[in-house]
Chains A and B, each alone.
Chain A
Amino acid sequence: MSLVASGKISALFSLIAVCAAVLVMVRLARRGRVPKIRRLAALDAIREAVGRAVEMGKPVHAVPGVGYLSSGADAAQTVAGLSVLDYTASLCAKYGARLISTNQNPEVLPVQEQIVQQAYMAEGKSAAYRPEMVRHLSPANMSYAAGAAGIIEREEVAANIFVGSHGMEALIMLEAGSRSGAIQIGGTATLTRSMDFAVGTDFLLIGEDIFAAGAYLSNEPAQLASIAAQDCCKIAILALAIIGVVLAVFGNRTLTTILRT
């Protein structure tokens, strides 16, 4: 009896290859070969958005998505969203902007509260932190959307920052933000919702860009190296796809068979 489940051998080797790529690039980065990554206008715009909020005397609304920390695809996006929230909270603390961070998923609530509080403490502004900065509205998607849209319009937020896993509620919140004149920065790797962000935001992060957020904002060599590793893996996938297409055109299904083992 095989130790590895059937149909998952190639997936296991792919995972090992990606892990190896990340570890090799991180090792190279720690030896001084830190890769440079391109500018991401949306992440650069967060500083401008917070500055605008300070000038206008209006709050910043930041949401790390509505996903779980315990489910696969959502968890990675939520982690990315929390990195952006950490950065936004530290900027708000530094420049004195009022922060509102709404929450749909109670599983993420304690992490969200801790991140905002620690961002304020790290900037030496513990006294400025208020527990009501992080507000749980509802675990139901549309109820959360109604509550968040109400907050955005009543408080007349100057900046809306939505990075993470989002559902249908994003479009309602983006519409509310547009009506209140907020600058809107958003991104999600949920492909069916990317179109909502494409039409609703002023600055957009598409798909995998959100996974680069943590590295981009922290500028840590190890994290930047992992982005380079991702790009290497994408090149490898592209090469495999081209080889597979060429082979399939000539009737050879070897690569397909190997990838299905």
Chain B
Amino acid sequence: MPLAISFVVGILMIANYFTTSTLLKDVARNAQTWVVIISTIALALGVANLTVLHGRNIRSKGSNWYLSSWLLFIMYLTIVLGVGLSTSNAFFRLIYDNLYLNPYNAVVTLLCFSTFAAGYRAFRIRSFETLAFLVCAAFVMLTLAPIGEILWDGIPVIGSWIMNIPSVGSMRGLMFGAAVGLIAVGIKTLLGIERGWLGRREKA
């Protein structure tokens, strides 16, 4: 049954993309609306999972149970305020902006440090490939930083060439491969060859 449903809906969406039939377009639009509805309902599953997991932790007074209490309190408070008062309400915005957006943006800034830390670990010469990697990365970084041009006029030229020629060419090659792989996975899923997403049956 799941395979049949995925086949029918998949063929419908493919046909919608390629044809000019208004009937197919209406059916596909309805199907896409249903996808949005089901995805929204799935949010409730996420809330339920969090409630069960953290509720169990609170009941058993597990590790950091007070943090689980805080999480559930804030989650339900935000839901109640958002649904009851509306998301443009000043009190809701106060909680949302100060308790959610600010810490969210703080985590985004961690990316800066994570990038440097990962780069530091990666830029170690162990083979010819890592040497080439380090040299190219050095040229590109100096090109993007103002100091590169000051050190030597050739650095921006070489760095720009690396970014625009071999890098773009390699990315396009990867893109072709990924696109073909994507189509193949889609076809396998529609035909029922790829069944990993369905799980499997118990061993006899």
User: Which positions in A face B, CB cutoff 8 Å?
Assistant: 1-5, 8, 11-12, 15, 18-19, 22-23, 26, 68-70, 72-73, 75-80, 82-83, 86, 103, 105-107, 109-111, 114-115, 117-119, 121-124, 126, 131-132, 134-136, 139-140, 142-143, 145-146, 168, 171-172, 174-175, 178, 189, 191, 194, 196, 198-200, 206-208, 210-212, 214, 218, 220, 222-223, 226-227, 229-230, 233-234, 237
Contact string against A for B residues 150-194, beta-carbon threshold 8 Å, 1 for contact and 0 otherwise: 000000000000000000000100111110111111111101011
Contacts A5-B20, A207-B178, A218-B196; A118 near B201 (Cβ below 8 A) = yes
Closest to B50 in A: A136
Residue contacts A-B, CB under 8 angstroms, 13 given: A4-B20, A11-B18, A76-B189, A79-B185, A106-B49, A115-B196, A131-B52, A136-B46, A189-B182, A200-B122, A208-B177, A214-B185, A222-B193
**A interface majority secondary structure:** helix
Write the residues of chain B forming the contact surface with A, with a CB cutoff of 8 angstroms: 14, 17-21, 35, 38-39, 42-46, 49-50, 52-53, 56, 100, 103-104, 107-108, 110-111, 113-115, 117-119, 121-122, 171, 174-178, 180-189, 191, 193-194, 196-197, 199-203
Q: How far, in Å, is B91 (CB) from chain A's closest CB?
A: 21
Pairwise interchain contact A171-B181, C-beta atoms closer than 8 A: no
Nearest-CB distance from A78 to chain B (Å)?
Answer: 8
In the bound complex, CA of A23 to CA of B46 (Å):
38
* Most A CB within 10 A of own CB, among B21, B113, B194: B194
Shortest Cβ distance from B202 into chain A, in angstroms?
A: 4
Q: Is the CB of B46 within 8 A of A139?
A: yes
Chain A CB count within 10 A is highest, among B122, B177, B178, B189, for B178
